[in-house]
Structure formats: structure tokens, C-alpha cells
């Protein structure tokens, strides 16, 4: 209390001193009433040092003065200030001297008390500042760790018999608290063997973190967790800190999933390349063998016709493989566009059945169609939708044992148009059902036996999505068949356009024979095309470079020029431009025969003056129609 009062202001202390002086004088008056004389200064003298100490030297001096006056009034003559008795004068003087000394002593003690009070106040302020700094630091610590969004914790080891017996949670930030099914207040102070994040292995935590508590250092490791939300991965970085362990738990699940996806994609890519090599070798083998047969002497006409059929079938199979690859590439780059138009649903189904018929008949399957009784017309790309349906029918045929049952049904009711292909084949395992539409994925892992690149379903899915629909698959399990369904939005259903009836030509457009120039740097391809055209009765000349083509036009006047684009030196584009600049050849029909079939390639040939654009391998029937139609139009 003395130290606290010493910190009061001078005015406040003086007021308190006057109040205390009044109380002392009243008490002294009461004492003197009963025992006056030598006891006149007893209470005042005893109070002098305390009043001076508490309320300052001014209050002490005032009490001293009041005491002298009070004593004078009670000495002879009583009631008057002058003191006549010698002994009373000595007592009064002695009181004055001793009282002065007491006031001086009290003043010194007051200074000491004031300094002590200042020191105490300074210590209190320092303690308050330290507490505030610590509180602010802890707040910043919490804010920083909580805002990081990465689980962070501090664990304290419990040592028994000189060994770490267990680890206890000492601190959790907000992100770490979310890993527990219990509130953070419950977790803190508990052992890792009793409370830990859901799905975490207590032994893994203890085995990896306990050595840090005793030996110090740093450790980093990955933890796989099986929780309610599936598999998760955490990267744990832990270090020793003054006998405790600090640890960060970074959720690396997206990174691990991305790595697994890349690994799976790389594996599927390798499988795809192996399958592609296999599928390309399949048609190449009979083509090569047929070529060797045709080289033999004495080949009969029947054997030659058989060889021709084999070449056509196998080259068509290779062309389909390449078409699928190109379609996937176009869709991936967003370069494939649909050519929509009103078409009868039955016509699309007929196109698909016709494409898949060889496979269906080859395995002796029964195909049952269930189509709407009334005509239904839809606004779609007829070629692409038929391609998808044919792919699904072919897949059903491949994965159904011989003599199986395959059904194709169509429903055009609200709210969508549904085309379903069902079979009683080998079915699809539940764990692979969700992945069959992925690129390079196959229903049957034994793809070398079934054939195919594993891109058909992925391509079909993309084509249907371009139409604004979706494709789904379902199966009851192994050997229980499967069902693939194409869902098209109801707005695809349209009214048919009026049919324009045209007269059929009385005779074939290709009955007239023409002078033709073939230009291709691939000698085999050029000679083979020349031989085919000669069999049609045309007069054909052949050259193998752009420069030769320009030179021969100076003395040979063809009616049609079949021109390859990728010629060495002078390209086919340059040759076509030269032809169009020359008056004698500017009206010649120029047809591109090339391996380049992208839309931009067709645009280049059109700008260069080509009349038609065919991609290799060219269909001879279509080529003859193009040749004949050019002259029919003239």
C-alpha cells in the first residue's frame, strides 16, 4: 500500500494527508481528555513518520505544527498557546526537535517508497509488455499456420525408462484439426496411439517420428491413407525442436493421382503401339504373301481373282485403321466438324448393319432389329452416327461367342432418342466398366485375339458428344452380356426435307476412254495405278517427278492428270499451278492422288486449281466416276 500511495499525485497525497491529520488530531483530543499532560504528543508523535511516509513531507510538517500548537494548548496555562513552565517548554522543544527528525526520516522513506513504486510499476509494465508480446506472437503464429492451409502439429515425446514410450499431440493448426474426427481440444494432450487422423497407422507415425525426439534431425516420407473419401496421400516433413517434434502433413493426393494417371497413360500408350504394330502386320502379311503368289508362273484366273479379293479386303482394313487414328487426332485437336442433315433413322441403322454384316455373318450371330414403326428422321451426321453404330455392332460381334444373339433397338420418345445394342457375350467386369471409354482401353485384355486398337469406344464417345449426346455402357457381369446405349437429345428429331427426284443416267459415266497422265514418285504406286487404268481401256502415260510432268506436257496432251502432291523437287501444287498458267493445258482435269487428306490440304489443292482430291489408297470406282463426271459436265 505504501508503494502504491507513493505513486499518487502531490495534490492527491496532500488531500489525503490533511484528512489523516484531522483524524489523528481527533484521536489525540479523545486521548487527552482522559490522560492529559505528558501524553499530549503521544499519538501525534507516533503518527508523524507514517503520515510523512504516506503523504509526503508537507503533510508531516503540517502535522508537526499542529502537534506543537495542540501541545501548547494543553500545557500550563491550559487553553493558551504561550507555555510558561520551564519543563513544559523543554518538552515542547524536544517534541519539535524529535518530530522534525521523524518528519525528515519519513520524507526519506517516502523517496525510497516512491522509487520502489516506480520500479514495481516498471516491472509490472515490462511484464505486461512481455505478456502482450507473447500473446501477439502466439496470435501471429496461429494466424500464419492456420492461413497456410497445410496441416501442422507439434508432438511431445513421453519418456519412460530412458526411452520414448509414446507421442502426445501438443499443438494442431486448423488444417490439422480437420483431419481428426474429434475437436482439437480433445486431441491436444492425448497419445497418438489413441487419437490420430482417420485411416492413419499409429505404428508408422511412432516409428518415423520417435527417433527424431531422441536423436534429433529431420525426416520426410509419404503416407498412404485409406479414409471414408477413398485413398489419400500425404507427404510428411518432420524435424526435432527442443525435445519436441514439429511436422507438416502436405496432401499430395492430386499429384500422386496425376502420376498414376500418367503412368497408366504411358502403359496404355505402350499397349496401343504394340497393338498397332500387330494390327498393321495382320493385313500386311497376306498382302505380302499374295504378292509372292502373283509372282509365280502359271497362276490361274481363279487364284488371281482370289488374290485380288484378299488385297482389297486387307487394304480396306488398313485404311479403316488409319481413318480411326486420323479421326481421333482431329477430335483431340478440335478439328473434326460434323456434316449434319436430316436423315431417316432406319437409313442410318441400315448403313451400320451393312458395315458390320461381314463380322456378324462370319461368327454366325443372330441380329434382331427393333425400330419404331413410324418413320423417324433425325438431324445428325449420317456417316459418323453410322460409324458409331457399326463400331458398337462389331464390338458386340467380337466379344460374343459364335452363334450369339445381338439386338439393336431404337426409341424416339421424350425426352431423348436412344439407340441400344445388346448382346449375350462375355460381358464386362464391374471394375473395368468405367474405363472402357478411355483411349487405348479394351473390353478384353486379350486384344491380340480379338483385334482392334482400343480406340473405337473412345472415338465413338467423342463423336456422340459432338452431337450433344452421350454413350453409356452396362453389364450384369462376366459372361452375362452387355448393353451400349446412345442417347441423343430430343431436338435431334426433325421433319424430313422434300425429296428431289433426279433422272438416272442411261449409261455409265466411265464408258468413254481418255488420255491420262499419272505423276507419282512412288514407282510401285504409279505403275499399279497405271495398270488398273489401262485395264479400264484408258491411254495412260506415267512419269515420276514434277519436272518430268511439265516436260511431257510439251508434246503429250492428256485429258486427265492424276497428280501426287508430295513430289521431290517440284511439288504437285507447283505442277498444278504451272498447268493452269499454260494456255494449252489450263482446261485439263487435274485430280490430286495423295496421302494428305486434312481439310487444309483440300483447301490448298482447291486454290492450286485441282478439280478433285482423293486420298490414298484411292477407290478406283470413285476415281472412274470423277473422271467420267468431268467429261459428262463438259
**Helix 456-466, helix 301-333: angle, nearest 10:** 50
User: How many C-beta neighbours within 10 Å does residue 231 have?
Assistant: 13
Note whether 345 and 379 are within 8 A (CB). Answer: no
- Name the pLDDT band for 541 (thresholds 50, 70, 90): very high
Asked if residue 509 has pLDDT above 50, the reply is no
Cell numbers representing residue 235 in the block: 507427404
Domain boundaries, the chain: 2-122, 149-251, 257-333, 341-494, 515-633
Edge to edge, the sheet with strand 230-241 lists 163-172, 152-160, 244-251, 230-241, 218-227
The cell numbers describing 65, all together, are 505544527
Look at residue 39 in the predicted model and tell me its pLDDT.
Answer: 59
Give the pLDDT band (50/70/90) at residue 7.
low
* Domain at 257-333: CATH code: 1.10.287.130
At the topology level, CATH places domain 341-494 in Heat Shock Protein 90 (3.30.565)
Pick the range with the lowest mean pLDDT from 57-61, 269-273, 364-368, 545-549: 269-273
More confident residue, 12 or 381: 381
Comparing 264 with 399, the larger pLDDT belongs to: 399
Burial of 193 (0-12, 13-18, 19+ CB in 10 A): middle
Report the candidate in 475, 451, 487 with the shortest Cα–Cα distance to residue 378.
487
Classified by CATH at the fold level, domain 149-251 comes out as Beta-Lactamase (3.30.450)
Q: What is the 3-state secondary structure (H, E, C) of 28-66?
A: HHHHHHHCCCCCCCHHHHHHHHHHHHHHCHHHHHHHHHH
Which helix (H) or strand (E) is 264 found in, with range? helix 253-295
DSSP string of 576-605?
Answer: HHHHHHSTTTTTSEEEEEES--SHHHHHHH
Lowest mean pLDDT among 46-60, 165-179, 234-248, 419-433: 46-60
Specify the residue for cell string 493558551: 80
Higher pLDDT, 19 or 243: 19
Residue 32 has pLDDT above 60, yes or no: yes
Answer yes or no: CATH 2.60.120.10 is held by domain 515-633: no
Which range among 80-89, 198-207, 348-357, 536-545 has the greatest average pLDDT?
Answer: 536-545
Least confident of 35-39, 358-362, 603-607, 609-613: 35-39
Give yes or no for residue 235 having a pLDDT over 70. yes
Residue 456 CA to residue 444 CA, distance in Å, equals 13
User: Average model confidence (pLDDT) for the chain?
Assistant: 79
pLDDT at residue 422, as a whole number = 95
Query: Can you read off the three cell numbers belonging to residue 607?
Result: 486454290
Residue 71 burial (10 A CB sphere; 0-12, 13-18, 19+): buried
Amino acid at each position: 500500500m505504501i508503494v502504491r500511495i507513493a505513486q499518487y499525485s502531490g495534490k492527491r497525497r496532500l488531500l489525503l494527508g490533511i484528512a489523516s491529520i484531522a483524524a489523528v488530531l481527533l484521536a489525540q483530543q479523545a486521548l487527552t481528555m482522559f490522560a492529559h499532560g505528558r501524553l499530549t504528543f503521544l499519538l501525534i508523535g507516533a503518527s508523524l513518520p507514517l503520515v510523512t511516509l504516506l503523504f509526503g513531507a508537507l503533510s508531516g510538517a503540517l502535522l508537526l505544527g499542529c502537534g506543537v500548537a495542540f501541545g501548547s494548548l494543553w500545557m500550563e496555562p491550559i487553553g493558551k498557546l504561550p507555555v510558561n513552565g520551564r519543563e513544559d517548554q523543554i518538552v515542547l522543544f524536544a517534541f519539535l526537535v524529535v518530530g522534525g527528525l521523524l518528519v525528515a526520516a519519513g520524507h526519506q522513506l517516502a523517496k525510497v517508497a516512491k522509487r520502489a513504486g516506480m520500479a514495481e510499476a516498471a516491472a509490472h509494465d515490462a511484464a505486461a509488455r512481455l505478456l502482450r508480446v507473447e500473446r501477439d506472437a502466439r496470435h501471429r503464429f496461429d494466424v500464419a499456420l492456420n492461413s497456410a492451409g497445410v496441416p501442422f502439429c507439434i508432438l511431445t515425446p513421453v519418456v519412460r525408462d530412458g526411452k520414448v514410450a509414446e507421442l502426445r499431440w501438443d499443438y494442431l493448426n486448423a488444417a490439422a484439426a480437420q483431419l481428426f474426427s474429434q475437436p482439437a481440444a480433445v486431441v491436444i494432450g492425448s497419445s497418438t496411439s489413441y487419437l490420430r487422423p482417420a485411416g492413419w497407422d499409429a505404428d508408422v507415425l511412432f516409428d518415423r517420428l520417435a527417433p527424431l525426439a531422441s536423436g534429433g534431425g529431420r525426416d520426410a516420407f509419404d503416407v498412404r491413407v485409406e479414409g471414408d473419401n477413398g485413398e489419400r496421400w500425404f507427404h510428411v516433413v518432420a524435424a526435432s525442436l527442443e525435445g519436441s517434434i514439429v511436422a507438416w502433413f502436405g496432401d499430395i493426393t492430386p499429384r500422386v493421382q496425376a502420376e498414376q494417371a500418367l503412368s497408366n497413360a504411358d502403359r496404355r500408350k505402350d499397349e496401343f503401339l504394340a497393338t498397332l504394330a500387330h494390327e498393321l502386320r495382320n493385313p500386311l502379311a497376306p498382302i505380302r504373301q499374295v504378292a509372292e503368289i502373283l509372282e509365280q508362273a502359271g497362276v490361274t484366273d481363279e487364284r488371281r481373282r482370289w488374290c485380288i479379293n484378299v488385297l482389297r479386303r486387307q487394304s480396306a482394313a488398313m485404311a479403316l485403321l488409319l481413318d480411326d487414328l486420323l479421326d481421333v487426332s482431329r477430335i483431340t485437336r478440335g478439328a473434326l466438324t460434323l456434316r449434319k442433315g436430316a436423315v431417316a433413322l432406319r437409313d442410318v441403322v441400315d448403313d451400320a448393319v451393312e458395315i458390320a454384316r461381314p463380322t456378324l455373318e462370319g461368327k454366325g450371330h443372330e441380329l434382331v432389329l427393333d425400330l419404331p414403326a413410324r418413320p423417324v428422321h433425325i438431324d445428325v451426321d449420317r456417316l459418323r452416327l453410322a460409324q458409331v453404330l457399326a463400331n458398337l455392332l462389331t464390338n458386340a460381334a467380337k466379344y460374343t461367342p459364335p452363334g450369339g444373339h445381338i439386338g439393336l433397338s431404337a426409341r424416339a420418345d421424350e425426352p431423348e432418342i436412344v439407340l441400344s445394342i445388346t448382346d449375350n457375350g462375355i460381358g464386362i467386369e464391374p471394375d473395368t466398366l468405367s474405363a472402357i471409354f478411355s483411349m487405348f482401353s479394351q473390353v478384353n485384355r486379350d486384344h491380340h485375339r480379338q483385334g482392334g486398337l482400343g480406340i473405337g469406344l473412345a472415338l465413338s464417345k467423342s463423336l456422340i458428344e459432338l452431337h450433344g449426346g452421350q454413350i453409356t455402357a452396362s453389364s450384369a457381369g462376366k459372361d452375362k452380356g452387355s448393353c451400349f446405349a446412345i442417347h441423343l437429345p430430343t431436338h435431334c428429331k426433325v421433319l424430313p426435307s422434300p425429296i428431289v427426284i433426279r433422272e438416272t443416267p442411261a449409261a455409265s459415266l466411265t464408258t468413254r476412254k481418255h488420255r491420262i497422265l499419272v505423276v507419282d514418285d512412288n514407282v510401285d504406286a504409279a505403275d499399279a495405278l497405271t495398270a488398273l487404268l489401262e485395264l479400264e481401256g484408258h491411254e495412260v502415260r506415267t512419269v515420276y517427278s514434277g519436272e518430268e510432268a511439265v516436260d511431257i506436257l510439251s508434246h503429250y496432251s492428256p485429258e486427265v492428270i492424276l497428280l501426287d502432291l508430295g513430289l521431290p523437287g517440284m511439288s504437285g501444287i507447283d505442277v498444278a499451278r504451272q498447268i493452269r498458267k499454260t494456255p494449252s493445258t489450263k482446261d485439263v482435269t487435274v485430280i490430286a492422288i495423295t496421302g494428305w487428306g486434312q481439310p487444309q490440304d483440300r483447301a490448298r489443292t482447291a486454290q492450286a486449281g485441282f478439280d478433285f482430291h482423293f486420298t490414298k489408297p484411292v477407290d478406283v470406282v470413285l476415281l472412274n466416276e470423277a473422271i467420267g463426271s468431268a467429261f459428262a459436265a463438259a
